[in-house]
Amino acid sequence: MRILTWNVNSIRLRLEQLRRLNALWSPDVLCLQETKVDDPLFPKEALAALGFTHQAIWGMKSYNGVAIAAKLPLTDVQTKAWCGRQDCRHLMAQINGIQLHCLYVPAGGDIPDPALNEKFAHKLAFLDEIALWFAGLDAARPMAVLGDFNVAPLPTDVWSHKQMLKVVSHTPVEVARLDAFQASLGWVDAVRHFIPPEEQLYSWWSYRAADWAASNRGRRLDHIWVTKSLLPRLRQALVLRDTRSWQPPSDHVPVMVEIA
């Protein structure tokens, strides 16, 4: 079963790219973030035409939004709201015995100081809350949490560790929060399970770069984690870097794992 996560930065702008992804990689499950559309306007028929006939959506106009679209039945669909906000960031569903959590962590704004930046304070509180909640679940259960976590934890997850230490997404306080989240259930980073942590790896490149590939100032913000019971079933992990050049581009690229 191929499971793909992608921050699409507007689902309706990426339909042609989803068709290309489907033709090239044949994913069985799509976990999408930043769909940016109310549920009644979500392109259900377009995804169903690609074979994704089972859909769970939780969206809002022009902002946030998460969706799971699958070629296999989805059951036990639920949503979770964090920090007292119904802002469409966490959707879960059961598929083939695996509980999937499609997650979109707040970006956190530009100033890495919770006293000066409410968005950054919200991001830290969000990570604290989800870590505490996941710690109460059964770690033996087959689960995957995936999506745009908006944190690049490793020095090799950013183009320059030294220059990024004071930039939101790679600050020590964010990395510590993400580490606590990962420790909550002993999550395994499925991508780094295959791609060594010593290797530079990114899934996001800013729109601001005139030539994103030439400057290559990327960050690995998109993650797929699994509980340890799924570790023996992992077959491969891919970051589909070339899709960053597909037009019109999202600033994120898809990340995919294959589970036996």
- Secondary structure in 3-state letters for the chain: CEEEEEECCCHHHCHHHHHHHHHHHCCCEEEEECCCCCHHHCCHHHHHHCCCCEEEEECCCCCCCEEEEECCCCEEEEECCECCECCCCEEEEEECCEEEEEEECCCCCCCCCCCCCHHHHHHHHHHHHHHHHHHCCCCCCCEEEEEECCCCCCHHHECCHHHHCCCCCCCHHHHHHHHHHHHCCCCEEHHHHHCCCCCCCCCEECCCCCCHHHHCCEECCEEEEECHHHHHHEEEEEECHHHHHCCCCCCECCEEEEEC
Q: Which domain holds residue 146?
A: 2-259
Question: What's the pTM value of the predicted model, to 2 decimals?
Answer: 0.97
CA pair distance 236, 246, nearest whole angstrom: 23
9 — pLDDT class (breaks 50, 70, 90): very high
Q: What is the CATH number of the domain that holds 56?
A: 3.60.10.10
Residue 197's pLDDT band, with cuts at 50, 70 and 90, is very high
- Could you read off the pLDDT of 198-218 as tens digits, one per residue? 999 999 999 999 899 999 999
Q: For the chain, how many structural domains are there in total?
A: 1
What is residue 40's predicted lDDT score, i.e. its pLDDT?
Answer: 97
Q: Give the pLDDT score at 138.
A: 97
